[in-house]
Amino acid sequence: MDYKEIKADVVIIGGGGAALSAAINVGKDLDTLILDKGQVGKSGCSPNAHGGLAVHYKDPNDGPEIHFEDTLLSGGFLNNQDLVRILVQNTSEIVPMLERYGALFDRDEQGNLLVRRFGGHRYARSVFCGDETGHEMMNGLRREVYRLGIRYIDEAFVTRLLHDENGEIAGVFFYYLPIGEFYVVKSKSVVLATADAAGLWPAASERQRGDGIYMALMAGAEIADIEFIQYHPTHAWWPPGVRGSVSEAFRGEGGWLLNSKGERFMKRYDPENMELATRDKVSVSIMMEIRAGRGAPHGGIFASVTHLPAKYVKKRLPVIYQKYKNFGIDITKEPIEVRPRPHYLCGGVVIDENAATKVPGLFAGGAVTAGVHGANRLGSNALTDILVFGKIAGKNAGEFARSREYHSPNKNEIEREIKRIKEIFDKPWGKDSISIGKVRRELIELMDKDVGVIRNESGLKDAIEKLNYIKHEISPRVTLRDKSKTFNFEVKDILELPFRIELGIASATAALMRKESRGTHFREDYPHRDDENWLKNIVFFLKDGELKVETREVELKYKKPTDFPEYAKSRSPWH
């Protein structure tokens, strides 16, 4: 036997906020195991979230119903309305829960929670901890996981979900990166919490590589809405060393966006909301200014908080302030240069209200899923999503595990996975060989160029053709140079390649099919929203081993576009 076998009632794949929230809620009577290909609680997007968590309806006019509407309006009504209802109805317990775990949020001198407003939210409803909200949240969740004694394994790269002979989930296969060994975990249920696939594009974080979305698809689940890649409008662009997104808190605290003429150009695109328009709209507006030759000197656009009191900026935006300070730039005195960068794939694995996928025993929560955010995610709704749906996924995976015995994972699936990995190690470097680094770079550049903020038919067709070329002609030549079994990250990158290529093709295919503009999907050849023909989700699934795609009417269960006359009247992709 080439692999070791372990057992756990419930396996959670991922170690970010959704995973930890799931693990905490499985139930103490069950044996839960968390597997993360990085470090549990430290390596996903969650610890890096800066700006806030949309949970607190402080304004007396605000409440779950308004939050529900804002989420649909931003999502272009492609959201699953039942999931959005669940999201907004479960916000009140979040701050008390996190504070019980030891995560503390910023409050005023009277002890009232402070909130900031993010783009597209009608009210300030996002609690925060300076601009280190995710870090604080994860510290709390991690402490609770430790307190409950939940088992976890770091550097455990899950590469395949395993079925029993009836097609139900029976466990997972993982490659243990520290020593290069194979493991099978036999389990009664599985929760996927592996984040989204923004890393198919040159995402700032590079953490979201689509593993869970691809594995779920291959295991028989459906995936949807993967044409909607959200670009974060204000990614630090210059100097090149200042990496990462400039949190939306920057705009939420009153920051301005300026073109080379010093104009607050958002007045041209959205005079009502200005810099606090939704991310999709701000990203397209910035790209339009850059295209019109009104960009900043290094290819970005200016963002400025110099009009705000310096003391306020340092208190509310300490991480951004310090980050630039390290490069000799004082953001209280001079504007910075930013540019939209890929940030979040709004689609993913299709789940129902119980966070269950179509595959019995497989649950999913957080950024890996589709449905909550529709065509565009509101800033600060992601952290709410991972806590609410992580919990639901964990609870229901626990219930499912209690209702059944262990089943035996299919031996053929295990053998095929071992063979696939061994072949990577056995393949010698030859004259046609090519390194994974080169292919990865080509892939993300191609996605950015042709499947990015502004799209059109010829670019999308070109992308699909090139992706297929990479799949058939280039990827068979990819060869491992470092044959070491110890912490071999090159082999990890090679194992991720099919995830990247297949999801890239699917995303470009869906973007080509959607002949309209909506949310983050902006087609310059179809620049308007088309509610008559395109209130539909694009869904991918396997049938008899073949990848199929179809459109499905959205169920407008509680609200429809015509309930918002201004929105319905407008043909703008936004409103």
Ligand X SMILES: Cc1cc2nc3c(=O)[nH]c(=O)nc-3n(C[C@H](O)[C@H](O)[C@H](O)COP(=O)(O)OP(=O)(O)OC[C@H]3O[C@@H](n4cnc5c(N)ncnc54)[C@H](O)[C@@H]3O)c2cc1C
Cite the active site residues.
Answer: 232, 251
Only segment of 81-89, 191-199, 217-225, 401-409 that touches ligand X (CB under 6 A):
191-199
d(CA 150, CA 538): 38
Q: How many Å apart are CA 458 and CA 508, to the nearest integer?
A: 11
Q: Max CA-CA distance within the chain?
A: 70
E-state strands within 442-535 = 454-455, 522-523
Q: Does 157 bind ligand X (CB under 6 A)?
A: yes
Residue 553 beta carbon to ligand X: minimum distance, rounded to whole angstroms: 27
CA 167 – CA 407 distance, rounded (Å): 11
Sign of CA dihedral 497, 500, 506, 509: negative
Does residue 367 touch ligand X according to CB under 6 A?
Answer: yes
Burial 500-514 (b: 16+ CB within 10 A, else e): bbbbbbbbbbbbbeb
* Cis before 233 (ω within 30): no
Residue 120 within binding range of ligand X, rule CB under 6 A: no
Residue 211 φ then ψ, to 5°: -55, -50
Strands 454-455 and 522-523: parallel
**Residue span binding ligand X (CB under 6 A) among the ranges 107-115, 205-213, 268-276, 451-459:** 205-213
Residue 349 or 535: the one with the smaller Cβ distance to ligand X is 349
**d(Cα 201, Cα 207) in Å, to the nearest integer?**
11
User: Closest-CB residue for ligand X?
Assistant: 16
Q: Does 244 bind ligand X (CB under 6 A)?
A: yes
- Quick check: 495 binds ligand X (CB under 6 A)? no
By CB under 6 A, is residue 75 in contact with ligand X? no
Distance, CA of 416 to CA of 354 (rounded, Å): 32
Q: How many residues are present in the chain?
A: 575
- CA 152 vs. chain centroid, Å, equals 22
Q: Which is nearer to ligand X, 188 or 207 (CB)?
A: 207
139 is a contact residue toward ligand X (CB under 6 A)? no
Pick one of 129, 193, 320, 443: the residue that binds ligand X (CB under 6 A).
Answer: 193
CB of 440 to ligand X, least distance (A): 16
Nearest-angstrom CA–CA distance, 396 and 388: 13
Listed residue (38, 81, 128) closest to 384, CA to CA: 128
For 190-236, give the DSSP string.
EEE-----GGGS--SS-----HHHHHHHHHT--EE-TT-EEEEEEEE
- Quick one: 20 or 401, whose CB is closer to ligand X? 20
By beta-carbon proximity to ligand X, the closer residue of 30 and 193 is 193
Binding flag, residue 233, ligand X (CB under 6 A) = no
Angle between helix axes 381-402 and 81-89 (nearest 10 degrees) is 100
Q: Using the rule CB under 6 A, is 383 a contact of ligand X?
A: yes
The answer to whether 38 contacts ligand X (rule: CB under 6 A) is: yes
Strand, coil or helix: 7? strand
Of the two residues 197 and 290, which places its CB atom closer to ligand X in the complex?
Answer: 197
Q: Which of 133, 187, 259, 537 binds ligand X (CB under 6 A)?
A: 133
Q: Does residue 85 interact with ligand X by CB under 6 A?
A: no
- Short-list 399, 397, 394, 388, CA closest to 97: 388
Rounded Cα distance, 17 and 386, in Å:
6
The interface with ligand X within residues 294-323 (CB under 6 A) comprises: none
What is the token pair recorded at 224?
A: 């949807």
Please select the residue that binds ligand X; options are 8, 11, 14, 500, rule is CB under 6 A: 14
Rounded Cα distance between 496 and 489, Å, is 11
- The amino acid at residue 555 is E
- Measured CA to CA, the distance from residue 208 to residue 177 in angstroms comes to 18
Q: Binding ligand X by CB under 6 A: which of 8, 30, 51, 332?
A: 51
Report the nearest approach of ligand X to the CB of residue 574 (Å).
20
CB of residue 39 to ligand X, shortest distance in Å: 7
Q: Please tell me whether residue 498 binds ligand X under the rule CB under 6 A.
A: no
Determine the interface stretch with ligand X among 45-53, 64-72, 550-558, 565-573 (rule: CB under 6 A).
45-53
Q: Measured from the CB atom, is 158 or 467 closer to ligand X?
A: 158
Total residues contacting ligand X by CB under 6 A comes to 43
Which of 9, 26, 44, 169: binder of ligand X (CB under 6 A)? 44
User: Pick from 8, 32, 37, 230: which binds ligand X (CB under 6 A)?
Assistant: 37
Q: What whole-number distance in Å separates Cα of residue 551 and Cα of residue 78? A: 12
Q: Of the two residues 348 and 452, which places its CB atom closer to ligand X in the complex? A: 348
Span of 67-75, 89-97, 308-316, 374-382 interacting with ligand X by CB under 6 A? 374-382
* 16 is a contact residue toward ligand X (CB under 6 A): yes
Structure tokens at 567: 């929105």
The answer to whether residue 245 forms part of the interface with ligand X (CB under 6 A) is yes
Angle, vertex CA 239, rays to CA 238 and CA 244, nearest 5: 70
Is residue 101 within 8 Å of residue 141, measured between CB atoms?
yes
Backbone torsion region of residue 206, taken as left when φ is above 0, otherwise alpha when ψ lies between -120 and 50, otherwise beta? left
Stretch that binds ligand X, among 46-54, 143-151, 352-360, 393-401 (CB under 6 A): 46-54
- 18 binding ligand X? (CB under 6 A): yes
Tell me how far, at minimum, the Cβ of 118 lies from ligand X, in Å. Answer: 8
What minimum distance in Å lies between the beta carbon of 69 and ligand X? Answer: 18
Nearer to ligand X by C-beta: 158 or 463? 158
Task: Specify the stretch interacting with ligand X by CB under 6 A; choose among 93-101, 375-383, 453-461, 517-525.
Answer: 375-383
Closest CA to 240 of 299, 288, 198: 299
State yes or no: residue 46 binds ligand X (CB under 6 A): yes
Of residues 211 and 448, the one with the C-beta less far from ligand X: 211
Q: Which residues bind ligand X (CB under 6 A)?
A: 13-19, 35-38, 43-46, 48-52, 133-134, 157-158, 193-195, 205, 207, 211-212, 244-245, 247, 344, 366-368, 380-383, 386
